[in-house]
Structure 1
């Protein structure tokens, strides 16, 4: 935090966008997964929230089961816009995104991507896109 104390965060929501909202080297990725975190001692992420953005590119040689773990079929139908669903089980995001977090990270302060769109969120955008295999769309 701003006083130098450690803050523990919990993942609060996950948003998936196709194409990505952010760009890497001026290029939009096929999809962007935004993991919204709130401080563990807060009821929501409006005060002190952090968003971790992970870019995904379609890659038939990739072995990333993250989307299946999130309840999305590997070769299934496209998801409807603005759809939501509960996770089928616990997902270890640290393990699932281990390769992606090993590279550069960009950060800035911005607004929450959903209402109330307050401008007090810290963004961490991973600078390395990860692959997603399968013929299904993002």
Structure 2
């Protein structure tokens, strides 16, 4: 049996407050739902949250990524969703994460600064390679998935 080709998809969006009381609760809620959905769909990835912006790398079969993006664009916690690119990949970068994630903290400021995001995420300057590299560096600091 052959497995479906793998792709990485990178998108940005703006956090729309309202469903939960604070940003940390929003991130936890998104990660919880993502882990449930992604495990069944064979999707892995990493979500970055900084004040009002999301950056996310998703990876898996193309049809599963398309279905995942369909859910994201319908999710009222996201607005102005913009897919930066979808590219084929030989292997997963986030194979251990059905969905990892982090909310920017002061300890991570040097990592963000190294990618030109010292003052915050500028979605207009985010590009595919930068987001993937930033997510890899942040995931290396994150706790191992359970």
| TM-score > 0.5 by shorter chain | no
By relative contact order (CA 8 Å, sep 6+), the higher-ranking structure is 2
* TM-score, scaled relative to structure 1: 0.38
Q: Which has the larger radius of gyration?
A: 1
TM-score (norm 2): 0.36
